Copies of this chain bind each other. A is one copy, B any other.
């Protein structure tokens, strides 16, 4: 095995194309998720241009939140800008009536293509090709191209291009129509969100390669242009649409702004606009690509997951972050969880620090929401919400329906008790600082998050008579166990957070005394508060340790051992929580995801090699890998690699790699598993390559899977590009 730093080479298309054949009604939602494209601001699921009655169509834009009630805030599915319908001799052309057909997503450029042959008559087909991309250089712009060609004969072609306000978020409506038009230069639509009152302007500007009779349509909410022409064999017709869709957030007259975007794209034309976007994607890939030789599935899936993270990562704003299901579906209503900082953010911290800074700034700019949450619970400082959306207020639903249609409600405790997210965010700031050296960000924004978070921990911890401090009635990363005391992960992260805050404030006093003084005054941090931090950090109940194994929470070791036969039964289709019941599973040591191992993932220096191995061997067999949290496998992979269990590391890696492409959990139609996608990169870079940042640089400790001949990736350390190339020299 060798490690070397050489420039990234070009790749052939083989490792870059995600393809799926034919129309599969049973996998429609899954494939809509898989074929999501986006530019870090605007996204579009792999929904058909012509729609489908069973579709779960979706196009989302950062910051375009709307409320139903306060816990149901979500990004509003945008007015339909991608619709195009074809009729041949008055028969409507639909994908499901075609013979075969194939969809391909080119990860290099974000170009999605769907091509199929639609039977016209004996010996004649209509060849249809739909292509689309969302421009990486136009935050509010996209283009679509449709090409149709008859293989024989002549027929009347009708093409309908339009926009529509008749869209939904899985049965809920977010838009009210304001205005619409349809004319030779395109269709326009203005709508406004019902709850938040955000107007949006849509312009769809079509261009046909042939002359056609044009009829505008003005059905309410559905402005359209109808083109009719005679199609002859061998004379293909191309319809190119340039789309601008702009909310009134950064602009006052969104329709004008949308018009400018669509005009710009129309003037450039398809090829030039696609080239400009592709060049921007090439830069993204130069920054973050991972090359794996010898394992095509690993190669494609790592790139696919990176593509989806980049499609959603807020590239153009500090007021958005990546939701649990990225920008690709309706799951968790686009809310931002710890998934973002602990699983997805490291990808950007290491490869695209500007994007990482946007994501952290999203949190920093929502300190008011975090303070309101702390204050509402009678605590000091800033407690970040378990689920965060537009305003930064807590938006975790306190109750959810236990199972669809059951009528039974289930209390969701995470918004109340899963407090560790405040330390997770502080840790993400410090990781970002360590990797980038971005002192200015920490001074101007990050420090305040860390310091006010420390105040929260100091006010949350309760002292016992013996001088020990405790965090009681919490939920740790393992959500199978609720209402636990002194969760090891939470306590040790909180102690780390308190000590770090003191160090950050000392650093600030040294390097930016004025800022330090103002922050201390604003937050009310005096010597007494800092003594309290130290006191709580030093006396926050440490976990019981048995044979080097940390007890996950007080009393965990006393719970019933797991039913290994049941847990490891390969035929099991339900989570252990469903099988044993929410209360039943709590009585056992079964964990939804590795909780103590997550601590080793977050604060690796707390564990020496023997301790890591002991904890791995204890907790891994107690984890519901298959039906527990989708956050688990990537972490398990990293820890298994470090603990010297390469077969398990690779098996867990594959589980994460397949989460969305193969829909192993059956819920990919809800959207990309963002944490799994981010964890996958970490499994490769921190697990198999064993990358570690040191005081004076970085080291790797490669443990490549046996089939991997070569692994190569790039990252940035304090502004300087680093290339890592590892080879397996068996």
Contact = CB atoms under 8 A, between A and B. Distances in A.
Contact of A70 (B53, B178, B405): B405
Contact of A221 (B166, B171, B177): B166
Nearest to A407: B70
Contact of A172 (B51, B70, B172, B404): B172
Q: Which of A166, A220, A399 has the most CB of B within 10 A?
A: A220
A208 interface: no
A68 B164 CA distance: 24
Which of A51, A67, A168, A407 has its CB near the most chain B CB atoms (within 10 A)? A407
A648 B177 CA distance: 49
Interface residues of A, number: 31
A69 B222 CA distance: 30
A194 B219 contact: no
Interface in A126-184: 164, 166, 168, 171-173, 176-178
A333 to B, nearest CB: 14
A70 B408 CA distance: 9
A406 interface: yes
A5 interface: no
A194 B168 CA distance: 13
A665 interface: no
A224 interface: yes
A70 B67 CA distance: 22
Contacts of A71: 407
Contacts of A70: 405-407
Given A70-B405, A70-B406, A168 B177 contact: no
B219 A177 contact: no
Interface in A631-660: none
Nearest to A406: B70
A327 B398 CA distance: 33
A119 interface: no
A617 B177 CA distance: 55
A149 B37 CA distance: 53
Contacts of A164: 220
A295 B221 CA distance: 48
Interface in A189-229: 194, 217, 219-222, 224
Interface in A51-73: 51, 53, 67-71
B399 A69 contact: no
Given A51-B220, A69-B405, A168-B173, 4 more contacts: A69-B407, A70-B405, A70-B406, A172-B172
Interface of A: 51, 53, 67-71, 164, 166, 168, 171-173, 176-178, 194, 217, 219-222, 224, 398-399, 401, 404-407, 409
17 contacts: A53-B177, A67-B405, A69-B401, A69-B405, A70-B406, A70-B407, A168-B173, A171-B173, A171-B194, A172-B172, A172-B173, A217-B217, A217-B219, A219-B224, A222-B222, A399-B399, A399-B409
